[in-house]
Structure 1
């Protein structure tokens, strides 16, 4: 049992000054004025720094110099988590892009084993593909994009406890498959899709409730006659969306527009790859057989196609505040509470509130992460 003292507490009810947060057995057990806590209690002095719920990244291909596609193992997930903590991410969805069935099965097994040992770190696997549209493939390998078999749909539904999210193109899939995946408890997302408005809405009606990297790899609003996927998302009240705020994937004006329309359904994601949090000098990596170069803050192949990002969540929060103009309180919610809600985990994660798991981040005014807590375990990152 210990108290976090003298921090700017970004709680579920708003910013609190001169309050302490009591942590006991991995959970937040009290949020009170400092005077309410005995001076004899063990404490960490935050020295005026910010205390927020830990960030939840719903799309993470790799970081810390590794890629989940390259090795679907618990060891890879451990390296990713270690890199995550240095940028304030305490929970994430490891993301496997378009792959053979054998790799998908390995990824599910590795995720299952890691989740059982670390239940609030990895919240489940994100399968980004292979059931997408080659027209909007981005850097995904075209020869692996395919339609699902009945056997694989059965297998995915049977393993829904370990699969948090599946990104697919509704126009390339049987709507009954979408319905079955959703009913099994998997968050089905639209992405890497060339659907028109009607096809997107049909997918939403079948159970799609998320949009993967809004604006990227999806049909835009072309004109007044064709709203596209983006218009379909904006026309609904039940779709969450992830957005990459690295200054390369989406223009700040479009981030502001998305936030104005979606509000509490817009989640910051990184779509990060190996260079995020990697040692200095890391300049290229393999992404499913394609060499991706890390240059001038971007991850691109030889043709200039974006291959994920090098963004961290704390950098995304900083960009939301400094480039987009979103208040810090809201930027933090986009990185923590809204992702938790999208995943149905807001009962125990995503905000500083009594009874919730103590997954927390501490950072200074310059957006440097100085410490994190995962299940109440305090770790410095100076």
Structure 2
């Protein structure tokens, strides 16, 4: 689709004539959103806003045509998309391409995800992300380091040659860069005692993943400061009758959050519904998307292996899943069609993610003071526009 209307983030304007789907059924009714300098400056009824804010009558009004409007989606696990992969090209150009591709699926903020790699690549990824965050804080609230401190028994597509135990020097580096490193996925059973405590006390979200931990070990990790689990059900010890594993520990917790890949390939729809029924707002939609997402590419290289993209599935020659081609709007639509109530699904794609990484004051809701990050779609969840840091792109 071609963009019929675009407004730069420097412009002030009002959005009108939309159906709000905010994720908060108790939020007061509103029919107008005013955007100034890349942020939401007012929401409410048009007549009330006009009385409270001088000069609103002269603002350009953008008619959304009765479409649904929600907070922009937030993806906490994005390896790549649009033909690029962060692991393969650690650059701000890659992040730009990922962002532009994301906008076609309503995703306005994401954690670029670097999977298991060398210390040199980790340092470079942190440097690049820091540069990008300085320019675009509305797009990237940090980086997600998925590995390299994983259990080889649950490595999935990750490169065995780079999986290792953490060094004191790198853990110190992580802590020194906690303002950029939003999340670290690790297997608690392979990390020295004190690793999780140190990372969490520095302000990094520790996520349990690619792990063969017992339920007891996972609960100990939670006590040490872990607050999240990476792609629930995938690359982790499963729920068993006598050994509940990591899945059981997550379900039994009252605090652990988890990402989940709602593509019908990484887990069944029954497991999606069960997870949501048990976890509610601790559950977060993620894509775990890779290079072909948003393209028609049939092969690509990931973790040193040739990956085949066919029928919506990404896997290597032996059938091991290698991320996905899922988009956030598809994850939302899939979850609604699986039977989860739409307001709850929107929370899974927005504010739940923001809360998981402690940025809910900046994004994830339609609220005054937040970045103007919004998704616009029809009743069939066809994405028709976005507002990204105040920049409106409306398509028809």
Q: With structure 1 as the length reference, what TM-score do the two structures score?
A: 0.96
* Aligned position for 1:290: 305
Offset, 1:39 = 5.3
Using a 3 Å threshold, how does the CA distance of structure 1 residues 367 and 16 change in structure 2: closer, same or farther?
A: farther
Contact 2:219–2:249, Cα closer than 8 Å, also in 1: yes
> Aligned with 1:11: secondary structure?
coil
> Aligned with 1:175: secondary structure?
coil
Q: Per-residue displacement from partner, 1:112-139 (whole Å, max 9, x unpaired)?
A: 1111111121111111001000000001
Q: Distance in 2 between matches of 1:13 and 1:292?
A: 40
Offset, 1:366 = 2.1
* Aligned position for 1:27: 39
TM alignment of 1:249-288, pairs within 5 A = 249-278=266-295, 280=296, 282-288=297-303
Q: State whether structure 2 residue 333 is matched by structure 1 residue 318.
A: yes
**Cα-Cα RMSD:** 1.4
In structure 1, the gaps of 5 or more residues are none
Q: Distance in 2 between matches of 1:45 and 1:341?
A: 31
Q: Per-residue displacement from partner, 1:136-166 (whole Å, max 9, x unpaired)?
A: 0001111111001111111111111110100
> Aligned with 1:348: secondary structure?
coil
Using a 3 Å threshold, how does the CA distance of structure 1 residues 271 and 113 change in structure 2: closer, same or farther?
A: same
* Aligned position for 1:5: 16
Offset, 1:13 = 4.1
Contact 2:115–2:148, Cα closer than 8 Å, also in 1: yes
Using a 3 Å threshold, how does the CA distance of structure 1 residues 263 and 18 change in structure 2: closer, same or farther?
A: closer
TM alignment of 1:237-252, pairs within 5 A = 237-252=254-269
Contact 2:86–2:114, Cα closer than 8 Å, also in 1: yes
TM alignment of 1:1-382, pairs within 5 A = 1-11=12-22, 13-14=24-25, 19-36=31-48, 37=50, 40-223=58-241, 225-278=242-295, 280=296, 282-322=297-337, 324-382=338-396
Using a 3 Å threshold, how does the CA distance of structure 1 residues 284 and 237 change in structure 2: closer, same or farther?
A: same
Q: Per-residue displacement from partner, 1:323-350 (whole Å, max 9, x unpaired)?
A: x211211111110010001010111210
Contact 2:29–2:44, Cα closer than 8 Å, also in 1: no
> Aligned with 1:70: secondary structure?
coil
Q: Distance in 2 between matches of 1:269 and 1:326?
A: 16
Q: Distance in 1 between matches of 2:340 and 2:374?
A: 21
Using a 3 Å threshold, how does the CA distance of structure 1 residues 101 and 325 change in structure 2: closer, same or farther?
A: same
> Aligned with 1:308: secondary structure?
coil
The number of aligned residues is 378
Contact 2:23–2:343, Cα closer than 8 Å, also in 1: no
Q: Distance in 1 between matches of 2:355 and 2:245?
A: 26
In structure 2, the gaps of 5 or more residues are 1-11, 51-55
> Aligned with 2:291: secondary structure?
coil
Contact 1:93–1:122, Cα closer than 8 Å, also in 2: yes
> Aligned with 1:216: secondary structure?
coil
